[in-house]
Amino acid sequence: MPVDGTFYLHNNPTPPLGDTSSQPVLPMDPVMPATPVLYNYDVDRDGSPGLVIARGGSGPYEGDPTKYQAWRAAEFSGAVVIDGDAKVHLWSAMKDFNSSNVGVVTVYVQDCYGWSCVELGSDTVTKGGSSWMLLTFSVPIGTYTLAPGHSLGLVVVVDASSDDDMWFAYDVGPYRSRVAVNASAAALTSETAGLGTLEFWPLDVLARLLFA
C-alpha cells in the first residue's frame, strides 16, 4: 500500500506565525506550506528571513548547532519500505545574496529511532546565485525498510569548502523545501527491517538538542 512519501520542511510552530529563535531539530510532514511570508527563523543569529547555516559543518553529527539543521518526521506506526533515491528539494541562497560566492551544501537522509540515527545516504550540490535558488539532491538509498516506531530524518550542512554561510527558506508557500521518497507500507520481517548498528549522536550534541 502506498504511503505519502513527501515531507515538507517546517519551522516550529507551524504554520509560522512570526519570527522565532533557531531550533536544532524541526518537524517535517506531508502538510504543504501555504504561509505567504518568509519569517526570520533564527533571530538569535541574524536579522534576515529564513535560516542561516554557518559553513564548516563536519557531517550529520556536527556538534555546533549553528553549522547544521535537522528535521524529523513523525514515527511510523508500521513498517515502511523506501525504494530508490530520496529527492531533497531545498531553497537556499548565499548569505547577503552575494552573487560572487558559490555555496556547497550536503544533505544526509537518516533512519531515526528516538535520538539514535543511522545514515541512509547523502548528496552534495555546489551552486551560486544572487537570489533564492532551488537545490535538488538525489540521495541513493536503494530498498530499505524503516521499522515501526522509526522515523525519517534529514540533516543539512554547509561544507567548509563553501565560500560563505548560506540562507535557507522553507515552510512558506513560495519556497516549499521538502524530501520526497517512494514509500509503501509492508509487513515487517527480520530480513527486510533496516536494523543495522545504529550510530548515536555524540553526548555534546544530545545535550544541545535536549537543553537548547
Please give the distance of CA 16 from its chain centroid, rounded to a whole number: 17
Indicate if the pLDDT at residue 211 is higher than 70: no
The greatest distance separating any two alpha carbons of the chain, rounded to the nearest whole angstrom, comes to 52
Residue 205 phi, psi dihedral angles, 5° rounding: -70, -45
Count other Cβ atoms within 10 Å, centred on residue 142: 10
Between CA 179 and CA 15 the distance in angstroms is: 18
Q: Nearest Cα to 41, choosing from 24, 17, 19, 67?
A: 19
Structural domains present in the chain: 2-205 (2.60.120.260)
Per-residue pLDDT tens over the stretch 66-76: 999 999 999 99
> Is pLDDT above 80 for 193?
no
HSE at residue 68, side-chain half, CA atoms within 13 A, is 22
* Overall average pLDDT of the 39-45 stretch: 98
Give 172's pLDDT tier (boundaries 50, 70, 90): very high
pLDDT score at 3: 78
Question: What does the pLDDT read at residue 1?
Answer: 67
Q: What's the pLDDT at 197?
A: 34
Mean pLDDT check: name the lowest of 48-52, 168-172, 184-188.
Answer: 184-188
Cell numbers for 176: 516549499
Task: Compute the average pLDDT of residues 129-146.
Answer: 96
